[in-house]
Structure 1
Amino acid sequence: MSATIFSNDSRVIFNDQAYLELNNLLADHRYSKLFLLVDQNTHQHCLSSFLGKLDKEHEFEIIEIPAGEAHKQIETCSQVWAAISELGGDRKSLLINLGGGVVTDLGGFVAATYMRGIEFINIPTSLLAMVDASVGGKTGVDLGPLKNQVGVFTEPLMVLVDVEYLKTLPPNELRSGLAEMLKHGLICDKNYWEQLSEMDKLDPSALQDLIYRSVEIKNQVIKQDPKESGLRKILNFGHTLGHAIESYFLEQPDKTTLLHGEAIAIGMIMESYLSVHLTGLSQEKLEQIKDVFSNYYPSQEISSEELESIIELMRFDKKNNNGKVNFALLKDIAKPIWDINADNELIHRALEYYKK
């Protein structure tokens, strides 16, 4: 599948067509400066491949940031803003973000705010970034351990999806992206959920059509609700608990840092349990969901005391209003509902179910 997906003011272009469009853009636009943002990993594993796809040698100023969620902070933005400024960046500059979700989220925010906005292009290199950060125009950084607390909605000029980059990823990074794909099935497409549930293994070369479908699903939701005032909240299924779990593990020195998808997988199991008790999801569907996620993701140890700290972190969730924590839950597979409240006792029972 290689058809372009049009997303509000942006477009997602796949594989060889993506480089054709990029080469045409660079030839037609006389950008004053070309900046290329990478992290340590994409500098090593993806940069030479990317540069080799360009028609001619363009003069890029390469800016490298440290890899990992811990560096998705305003301090890193300050360093990138300073680098662009020192290298002569102006409003006619272009920033290309080559990396996973940290690079594309942070790079998009840097571009949106440098001199009140310069054009940027995202080239996601992780499965998570391809299926999650590729559409929607969300940019931003974390505030300490709190996920994506600072940011703006700004669309990239285009997003280039090249599945060849997936071959550079370790298995846990592929599984992290799969969690968002499974979520897309659970909230929107029962057949897609079942297709992903029955996969024997995660083979990058077999993922192209599945990635396309995930981007398509997310785009259909976002086009109806660009600023997350209603329907778009369904994309947060698993994220209210999942983000808080991810933040908690990130700030605990004795805990192994969880990848985004690993934390969201826990969130989806627990929020499916809430769905049984609050929105009518069947026990049978809950067991199926738990079985699928348990096949892909190892269980994590979370105590009741730790859950209290996680619940406290949920207070900072951006979907809350009037002090109430709002969940997106399931009435059934592909039948989501949003703005549902759950009390702490039920959340503790959801943890016990997860740990069983």
Structure 2
Amino acid sequence: MKPIISTDYNVCFNVDAYTSLNTYLQQHTYSKIFIVVDTNTHVCCLPNFMGAISGEYDFEIIEIENGEIYKNIETCTAVWSAISELGGDRKSLLINLGGGVVTDLGGFVAATYMRGIDFINVPTTLLSMVDASVGGKTGVDLGSLKNQVGVFCTPKMVLIITDFLNTLPSNEMRSGMAEMLKHGLIADENYWNKFKNLGNLTLDDLNQLIYDSVIIKNNVVLSDLKEQNLRKILNFGHTLGHAVESYFLNHQDRTALLHGEAIAIGMILAAHLSYQKLNFPLKKVAEIKEVILNYFAAIDISDVELEQIILLMKHDKKNAYGNVNFVLLKSIGDPVTDVVVTNEMIIEALHFYKK
């Protein structure tokens, strides 16, 4: 697969990813190379990754805890401190080997340590491959508020090595599938249609779907890096989805949802809101619900819980001038940004989801 050219870096795949990394390390002299891993990727991914690197380098491994609850400033402080104590300077390189928590947090650490050091992202989950791989977004959560603190900062390269997917449990694979479904809904109905029947999916099919998904997101990012206009379409399903994710993460009586599980709920609700606001065909809403629920089990959310979720939604960073802004669909592949909806519409959408 040919590298995908993004803003000022390449997204490289599989064998070419390792070749590109080795060439890059040979051509650049870094004082130290730090690799950020979590407790899972340290065991499951780091040995194979290190084994594919040719040459002698001064590597330092920094491990963080696994999970969204550790995507915070406290973890950043621990990583900044570790880099400093291990002699990191402005000529250091940070390699982030992990899922979206590692790449988002590691990118933010690199962007801010000594006002910025180089970094490379190696996403190891399906979600991070198709979502966090392009766009230059880095950041961490602020309490229960998702990605509330961060900066735009691009890596030197992104390496997508799909063999790492063999280490993932099935729920993590489904979580990544949500973002791929989203890419089809906002950009390409033919791509969306491929997800209606994946019963005979092969590894080659998955590689191509990942590649196509990255191309869809990259095309959007190239036209609007700082999310001033078109890039907002990538937030389809996220306005409510992030709020659902935050609510479940911070209520001990509820099992925390993976990002994709929450976004799946958000997309079904957004599809029904599209019907209410933009006359999106109800038949298509039902199709979207059916396809998504083929991948994700329905989650029970009460009206009382929804009230709390709506309050969280008002903190979403995509809002402006006091309005909660949604991305909705006129048709599949034809999204509309900055649509304001009422709480009553959201409640009606929830009742449709729960039917």
Q: TM-score range by the shorter chain?
A: over 0.9
Deviations 1:94-138 (A, max 9, x none): 000000000000000000000000000000000000000000000
RMSD in angstroms over aligned alpha carbons? 0.9
**CA distance in 1: counterparts of 2:348 and 2:195, whole angstroms:** 28
**CA distance in 2: counterparts of 1:202 and 1:84, whole angstroms:** 42
**CA distance in 1: counterparts of 2:203 and 2:63, whole angstroms:** 26
Match of 1:295 in 2: 294
Match of 1:50 in 2: 49
5+ residue gaps in structure 1? none
Deviations 1:232-268 (A, max 9, x none): 0100000000000000000000111100000000000
Deviations 1:185-244 (A, max 9, x none): 000011000002221166555310100000000000011111001110100000000000
**CA distance in 1: counterparts of 2:201 and 2:99, whole angstroms:** 18
Match of 2:24 in 1: 25
Match of 1:185 in 2: 184
Q: Aligned-pair distance for 1:59?
A: 2.5
Q: Which letter does structure 1 place at the counterpart of 2:147? A: N
Q: Aligned-pair distance for 1:306?
A: 0.2
Q: Answer yes or no: is the 8 Å Cα contact 1:99–1:124 preserved in 2.
A: yes
**CA distance in 1: counterparts of 2:285 and 2:309, whole angstroms:** 22
Match of 1:304 in 2: 303
Runs (4+) off by over 2 Å: 56-59, 201-206
Deviations 1:60-114 (A, max 9, x none): 1000000000000000000000000000000000000000000000000000000
Match of 1:68 in 2: 67
Match of 1:329 in 2: 328
Match of 1:353 in 2: 352
Q: Answer yes or no: is the 8 Å Cα contact 1:280–1:332 preserved in 2.
A: no
Q: Which letter does structure 2 place at the counterpart of 1:208? A: N
SS at match of 2:37: strand
Q: Aligned-pair distance for 1:173?
A: 0.3
Match of 1:132 in 2: 131
SS at match of 1:96: strand
SS at match of 2:178: helix
Q: Aligned-pair distance for 1:57?
A: 3.9
Matched, 1:111 2:110: yes
5+ residue gaps in structure 2? none
Q: Which letter does structure 1 place at the counterpart of 2:28? A: H
* TM-score, normalization by structure 2: 0.99
Q: Answer yes or no: is the 8 Å Cα contact 1:163–1:205 preserved in 2.
A: no
Q: Aligned-pair distance for 1:184?
A: 0.2
Match of 1:157 in 2: 156
Q: Which 10-residue stretch deviates more, 127-136 or 52-61? A: 52-61
Structure 1 residues 119 and 207 mapped into 2: Cα distance closer, same or farther (>3 Å)? same
**Percent identity between the aligned chains?**
62
Structure 1 residues 201 and 143 mapped into 2: Cα distance closer, same or farther (>3 Å)? farther
SS at match of 1:54: coil
* TM-score, normalization by structure 1: 0.98
Matched, 1:267 2:280: no
SS at match of 1:90: coil
Matched, 1:250 2:249: yes
**CA distance in 2: counterparts of 1:241 and 1:325, whole angstroms:** 10
Match of 1:97 in 2: 96
Structure 1 residues 249 and 53 mapped into 2: Cα distance closer, same or farther (>3 Å)? same
**CA distance in 1: counterparts of 2:318 and 2:196, whole angstroms:** 29
Q: Aligned-pair distance for 1:144?
A: 0.6
Match of 1:143 in 2: 142
**CA distance in 1: counterparts of 2:155 and 2:335, whole angstroms:** 28
Match of 2:229 in 1: 230
Deviations 1:276-297 (A, max 9, x none): 0101210110010000011110
**CA distance in 2: counterparts of 1:232 and 1:83, whole angstroms:** 35
